[in-house]
């Protein structure tokens, strides 16, 4: 890690930042961070998978405005000059995007392009939330940004995977041919407070099952490994990337791997009681195993994930208990 202070939005002059998907999990944490740092934030969401409660958190804040809109049909912002357009709108968990395949495709194509056009018109930066799903079912482990991926273009997950690959392609096209100042991150599995309780991914499932006193659902025998990044680490990486002049994609994720059974034990420990485990058959489209190569983020941002899974799950459980139960 570099010894000189790393530039981030924490030390920049006040910015005016528009965030699509502001009522989503990652979007809402960005809103919180930028408001805390003194920036002005315009949130946009259509609540297709975002949560009204994530908007309500900031609705009284003097530097927060909210626009309810479907960004695939345009971003109706008419205010002062923006410094950043950050495109975080999209269903992101498999049950959600498979419920809304066409909307997911549209927010990747028209939604991204509307964001790029808005950024271009304002001379603002454009920040794309892409995903480790662009690597598909990878043949290379861990995945560096130079790996081109292994995605089925016609599969049931392609509405998300191909939408995000397209979003990267059009972001690069606007960067190359129209000079837009762009950033692309590929977000690996991330968890934390304010995810939808029905998100469907394992840490959220475990935390909410534990809080409700239900058995933990483990698909398969639980020996498969996953890696998880706590939301605060992701937000720190985003904030640093905004301040450097780098236009290629950057992986942001935590490479530490755990088996599902290890996670189940960990949450039992945090609850100070042994939680029952209910084994179920693996779904046909079981999420593929991915593990980020984070050398790029280390090198250009001096960034490393700092929150271990024990402390991240604990923070998540405490927050969610207060928020929902």
Report the interface residues with a second copy, using CB under 8 A. Answer: 101-102, 105-106, 108-110, 113, 134, 136, 148-154, 156, 158-159, 161-163, 165-166, 168-170, 172-174, 176-178, 184, 248-249
Our CB check for a second copy shows the closer of 25 and 160 to be 160
Q: Rounded to the nearest 10 degrees, how much is the dihedral formed by the CA atoms of 222, 228, 231, 236?
A: 170
Minimum distance from CB of 113 to a second copy (Å)?
7
Our CB check for a second copy shows the closer of 162 and 199 to be 162
User: CA-to-CA distance for 121 and 245, rounded, in angstroms?
Assistant: 20
- 191 annotated active-site: no
Could you count the other beta carbons within 10 Å of the beta carbon of residue 102? 9
Strands 249-252 and 216-219: unpaired
Sign of CA dihedral 36, 20, 180, 173: positive
Minimum distance from CB of 116 to a second copy (Å)?
9
Our CB check for a second copy shows the closer of 168 and 233 to be 168
Minimum distance from CB of 155 to a second copy (Å)?
8
Minimum distance from CB of 251 to a second copy (Å)?
13
CA-CA distances (angstroms) from residue 23 to 29, 30, 130, 133, 291? 9, 10, 17, 22, 27
Our CB check for a second copy shows the closer of 180 and 309 to be 180
Q: DSSP labels for 54-88? A: HHHTTTT-TTEEEEE--GGG-----SSPPSEEEE-
Q: DSSP labels for 227-294? A: E-EEHHHHHHHHHHHHTS---SEEEE----EEEHHHHHHHHHHHTTSPPPEEEEPPPTTPPPP--B--
User: CA-to-CA distance for 204 and 35, rounded, in angstroms?
Assistant: 26
User: Nearest 5 degrees, angle CA 67-CA 247-CA 160?
Assistant: 55
Q: Within 13 Å and on the Cβ side, how many CA atoms surround 313?
A: 26
Given the residues 77, 97, 135, 160, select the one marked as catalytic: 160
Minimum distance from CB of 299 to a second copy (Å)?
18
CA-CA distances (angstroms) from residue 209 to 172, 270, 295? 41, 13, 35
Minimum distance from CB of 267 to a second copy (Å)?
35
Our CB check for a second copy shows the closer of 137 and 269 to be 137
User: CA-to-CA distance for 291 and 310, rounded, in angstroms?
Assistant: 19
Our CB check for a second copy shows the closer of 152 and 295 to be 152
Which residues are marked as active site? Answer: 160
């Amino acid at each position: 890690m570099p010894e000189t202070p790393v530039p981030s939005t924490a030390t920049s002059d006040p910015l005016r930042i528009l965030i699509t998907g502001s009522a989503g999990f990652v979007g809402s944490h960005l809103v919180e961070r930028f408001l805390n740092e003194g920036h002005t934030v315009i949130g946009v969401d259509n609540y297709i998978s975002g949560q009204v409660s994530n908007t309500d958190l900031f609705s009284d804040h003097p530097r927060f405005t909210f626009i309810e809109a479907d960004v695939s049909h345009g971003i109706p912002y008419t205010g002062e000059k923006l410094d950043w357009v950050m495109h975080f709108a999209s269903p992101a968990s498999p049950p959600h995007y498979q419920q809304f395949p066409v909307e997911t495709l549209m927010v990747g194509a028209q939604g991204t392009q509307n964001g790029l056009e808005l950024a271009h018109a304002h001379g603002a930066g454009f920040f794309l939330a892409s995903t480790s799903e662009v690597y598909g079912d990878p043949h290379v482990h861990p995945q560096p940004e130079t790996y081109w991926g292994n995605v089925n273009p016609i599969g049931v997950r392609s509405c998300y995977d191909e939408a995000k690959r397209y979003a990267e392609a059009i972001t690069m096209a606007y960067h190359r041919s129209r000079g837009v100042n762009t950033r692309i991150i590929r977000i690996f599995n991330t968890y934390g407070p304010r995810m939808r309780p029905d998100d469907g991914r394992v840490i959220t499932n475990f935390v909410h099952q534990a809080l409700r006193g239900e058995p933990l659902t483990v698909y398969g025998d639980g020996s498969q490994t996953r890696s998880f990044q706590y939301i605060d680490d992701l937000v720190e990486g985003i904030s640093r990337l905004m301040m450097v002049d780098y236009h290629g994609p950057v992986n942001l994720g935590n490479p530490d791997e755990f088996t599902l059974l290890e996670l189940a034990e960990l949450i039992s420990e945090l609850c100070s009681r042994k939680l029952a485990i209910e084994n179920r058959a693996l779904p046909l489209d079981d999420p593929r195993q991915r593990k980020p190569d984070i050398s790029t983020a280390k090198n250009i941002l001096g960034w490393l994930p700092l929150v271990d899974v024990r402390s991240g799950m604990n923070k998540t459980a405490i927050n969610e208990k207060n928020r929902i139960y």
